[in-house]
Structure 1
Amino acid sequence: MHPIFEFKGLITDGIYSMAKVEWWLLKYTDEYEKTVEIENKLHWYEFEDGSKSRLPSFWKPSSEVGFINLFQELDLISEFYKEENKIEDVLKEYYAVKNSGPKLNKWILEYEQLGKGKYFNFLISYLDYEGVDDIEHPMVFIHSMDDFPIYIEKNDFKNTIEFGNIFL
């Protein structure tokens, strides 16, 4: 079975759990690496000076490119998922100091760059749907599969979302 078809079969009530996403990523890591290696050898143009450049395909992306894009985007959101426990600890620190001016200031100084950087980007990348006001679940968008929105269970990112919202 093609990895994309198998991934599509992991959906439950229109939502993917990160446990299933993580399983899929683990199962297809080797195939992803082999596919990237093969795709990287295609579409090369050699210039007169001997230098080479990979040119994008002007046709509809192949299923292999779709697989690569899907894997990469799921791997990106997976990195946030892997930090959920760490962010839960950061939030516990926040709630312990949020009513204490000097301690809160120290906490903000320690985590502001992370909150306004990486975690703000999470909110923008996965929770800022164009034209949708009632956002329920993080959405992973795959450019080569724009007819296939991937909604991830919001509870899998409870701490990530809460932490990012502190710095909005």
Structure 2
Amino acid sequence: MEDSELDRVARIQADWRRERPDLDVSPQGVIGRLHRLADQLTGELRLVYARYGLSEGEFDVLCALRRAGEPYQRAPGELAAHTMVTTGAMTKRIDRLERAGLVTRRRSEDDQRGRIVALTAPGRELIDQAFTEHMRNERRLLDALTPAEAAALETLLTAWLSRMDHPRAADSD
């Protein structure tokens, strides 16, 4: 293959093979490409969030509330768990969403010390529109693959992620 035909990751690997022939640099082929792809995908996804005046984190919060079903509410700790962010970061997101009129906060009826975050009607309308466009955007991005390629990739990524999330279970296989 000509050097011009190699992608960036392949060029980096070729350089490392030349400079460090004692090392196996083959993992870079997968990890490097996944990293580059993740950066590109994130940029493409953020374009949709921005059209709705949302950051990626705010979009995640609104989605977590919408997925909860009627009455579209969760405790802040539950939101943090459903979006994989710290409670401190969650507080900042909720503050901004509340100022924008997209969510409200109130005391929990079950525990007066606890709080509940709920979607407002404008928040639900916004996330329904944003999520619809988000799914169209994800479809557009995934359409670069054939259906069979997408299915195979999903299977591989699911297996890999499961093993990364649960390393002890994978060790016992």
Q: TM-score, normalised by structure 1?
A: 0.26
- Structure exhibiting the larger radius of gyration computed from Cα positions: 2
> Which structure has the higher relative contact order (CA within 8 Å, separation 6+)?
1
More helix by share: 2
Q: TM-score, normalised by structure 2?
A: 0.25
